[in-house]
Amino acid sequence: MRVLIIGINHQIQSATIGWSNDPKAQAFMDDQKRRFATLLRTEMRERGVRFVGEETRHGDTSIAEGVCGEETIRYSNIEMSPEARAQANIPPGYNEDEAVSDADKSRWNRQREEFMLNATIAGAGQVESVLVICGNMHTAPIAAGLRGLGHHAEVLDLQTQDWYVEDWFGHMMHNL
């Protein structure tokens, strides 16, 4: 199986525009999301992708999910559900919590990455070309896990795209 893993900042995933009423800010966010959808569509078509697994918030509609619907590509949210996280004793927001030890953060990230890897393998079934979308911090461990299972894994960091702005808030504060 060939897998392209696109590492992202989660702000770009949601199909909804965002948190600003400013027309310039909304136009900026809409442009970023439209370009992301174009990148996904291009990669899916060029690589013959037949399954997309995405780490995204449960209950939100993502851009990737919409593109998959348009392209008739099988899609699955590979993130642990809030219930599964609770069963694994993984607290919400642990990565941003300064009171949580680095050892706990690493352990919980490994658990989630293993879950995402297994969900990708199960969701892909017998397809030859797969796309995984996940937070940047998870790309290397998931790629290593796939390679360890004999699959070809390539990583694309969204930050390498010349149109992409990582710090949306800072960009909007200083450029719009």
Q: What is the pLDDT of residues 30-78, one digit of tens each?
A: 999 999 999 999 999 999 999 999 999 999 999 999 999 999 999 999 9
What CATH number does the domain containing 133 carry?
Answer: 3.40.50
- C-alpha 108/C-alpha 39 separation (Å) is 30
User: Strand 2-8 vs strand 74-77: parallel, antiparallel, or unpaired?
Assistant: unpaired
Q: Examine the pLDDT at 17 and tell me if it is beyond 80.
A: no
Q: How many structural domains are present in the chain?
A: 1
Which range of residues forms the domain containing residue 95? 2-175
Q: What is the pLDDT of residue 175?
A: 78
User: Strand 74-77 vs strand 51-54: parallel, antiparallel, or unpaired?
Assistant: parallel
Decide if 53 contacts 123 (C-beta within 8 A). yes
Q: What is the pLDDT of residue 18?
A: 64
Q: DSSP letter string over the chain?
A: -EEEEEEE-GGGTBSS--S---HHHHHHHHHHHHHHHHHHHHHHHHHT--EEEE---TTSPBHHHHHHHHHT-EEEE-SPPHHHHHHTT--TTGGG-TTS-HHHHHHHHHHHHHHHHHHHHHHHTT-SEEEEEEEHHHHHHHHHHHHHTT-EEEEEEGGGSTT--S-HHHHHHHH-
- pLDDT bin (cut points 50, 70, 90) of residue 22 is confident
Round the average pLDDT of the chain to a whole number and report it. Answer: 94
Q: What is the pLDDT of residue 24?
A: 87
Q: What is the pLDDT of residue 150?
A: 97
Q: Examine the pLDDT at 6 and tell me if it is beyond 80.
A: yes
Q: What is the pLDDT of residue 176?
A: 60
- pLDDT bin (cut points 50, 70, 90) of residue 19 is low
Among the ranges given (23-27, 153-157, 168-172), the one the predictor scored with the smallest mean pLDDT = 168-172
Among the ranges given (4-13, 95-104, 125-134, 164-173), the one the predictor scored with the smallest mean pLDDT = 164-173
